[in-house]
Amino acid sequence: MTALLDLGVHALRDAYRAGTLDVRQMIEEVLKRIKEAGDDKVWISRASDAALRAVAADLDAQRGDLEKLPLYGIPFAVKDNIDVAGMTTTAACPGFAYEAKTSAEVVQRLVAAGAIVVGKTNLDQFATGLVGVRSPYGVPRNPFNADYIPGGSSSGSAVAVSSGLVSFSLGTDTAGSGRVPAGFNNIVGLKPTPGLLSNEGVVPACRSLDCASVFALSCADADAVLGVACMPHATPAIGKTFRFGVPGPLEFFGDQAYAALYAEAVEKLKALGGTVVTFDYAPFRDAAQLLYSGPWVAERTAAVGAFIEGAADDAGVWPTTRQIVLGGRKYSAVDAFEGQYKLAALKARAAAEMLGLDFLALPTTGTIYRLSDLEREPVLYNSHLGHYTNFVNFFGLSGLALPFGFRPDGLPFGITLIARAFAERSLLAFGARWQRAVPLPLGKTASRLPAPAHDPVVTEDRVAIAVVGAHMSGLPLNGQLTELGGRLESAGKTAPVYRFYALPGGPPQRPGMVRVAEGGGAIETEVWSLPTEKVGAFVAKIPAPLGLGTVALADGSGVLGFLCESHAIEAARDITSLGGWRAYIKSLAV
């Protein structure tokens, strides 16, 4: 079986369950693939072959515990700024290297669940960069074209997954390092909300923004890893219909192929039930620029500046990294406070732009560069790659990078979904839908998507509400629903048991719907849903004589919806014959 072995997390677990594979066979296949990959610059250090075989043998002896160990026999890689007990942590700087006495908490959790650390992967030194070329250990080979960058800073971790050397990997993400390499390697990159995964045992880059990240071939695999690495928060699902944000203006740095692919991705989201909402990208862009052109550079100086200043010539400090990190010395305490004030204002503006959206759908990057391009412009082109990524941790949001397609020259393109804090599982559940709707190779492997039964499923607690007037989509009061997380579920008509009236007063004009024993009509309605905890806030906005009661729908079901007290119709106009509020509004314009 190992000649065609699928290293996907669920594929391996299914094979172990079926008894067609043991862990020793899997490890032999991993070692074979690593050997065949040659000098791909993925690894800075690796567990010895003997050590890996010993771990495999121990797990085979525990086969009876398979169901107790959710990552039993799953090989993974660890970015080399994350500690693994007994292995050297370098952060891609030989002079900084130390032997870790204990593993980072996130690694401990994964290993305790049966996962196997294969090795430590290459990165942009001290996790400073989005390019994947700033390392004295070489440049991990982009599996789609070695002339192009692999993306950073988690370059080796992404390439290891895309090349089929491991099932998943850990990266870190401060400014986009868990997303940019995913986009350039045609894999999934999960960037959790800062603080969801422990940073204990992670070499800091920008401590207030750092977070560990996960690379995998599928959203189902990433979800399996997330469930072990932490306790994911309960989160509302993204429904069959949803609203997503597209930034304006868009920037592709002259890459027409990426621009065309993004336009296609937006159309695919619309086909999946999405409604496009164009939002002002300015506050997001301005926050992104603070990271490398503002006082947050000084936080990088605080992390490793003293080491770099005192490092010997042979310590292997990368020149561009030195330039960036020591550049933080020019900022003052006043600059830091002013930066915080500016960021707070930008965060408020950004929150207003995201109001009522399920997620933002951004290009993961606006373009990709050749290795030779970075030799000419190491700083400018790196900043271009952060255009759609740098703001996310500033605003405490969650993100998921997803593959979409390929340029005519065969290089991958991806999009990233950005949502509120702790929405990881809803993004992964939607990402699984996306991967089934956009059939692509998984990385540069022959692996296949796991069976649908393995896809993440998010249950949510929402209340359906039927609206018949100004709260319908596109009408004046619809914002009262969308700003509370309202979602359009269906459109149709009520059962033919209602009289419909235009109530006096306004603006805005309001309808009143009253159930009658006979002589009623069917009224146009939309059924929206709200998160249960937001219903009270919505009800508080409803003025008398309107209220919520059970509305009978044409399909025979009943749902909470708008009804009117009968006394209020005495001075109202009966508009039942028009069949709905939109028809009434249209009649006024005639």
| Unique residue bearing structure tokens 């708008």 | 562
Distance CA 249, CA 242 (A): 22
Distance CA 461, CA 369 (A): 45
Nearest residue to 280 (alpha-carbon basis) of 305, 307, 249, 321 = 249
3-state SS track over 303-330: HHHHHHHHCCHHHCCCHHHHHHHHHHHH
Q: How far apart are the first and last CA of the chain?
A: 73
Helix axes 219-229, 9-18, angle to 10 degrees: 80
Active site residues: 79, 153, 177
The percent helix, strand, coil of the chain (3-state, each to 5) is 35, 20, 40
On the 0-12 / 13-18 / 19+ scale of CB atoms within 10 A, 349 is: middle
Distance CA 244, CA 502 (A): 33
**CB atoms closer than 10 angstroms to residue 477:** 15
On the 0-12 / 13-18 / 19+ scale of CB atoms within 10 A, 212 is: buried
By the 8 A CB rule, do 139 and 155 touch? Answer: yes
Distance CA 77, CA 57 (A): 19
CA–centroid distance for 279 within its chain: 18
Distance CA 447, CA 241 (A): 30
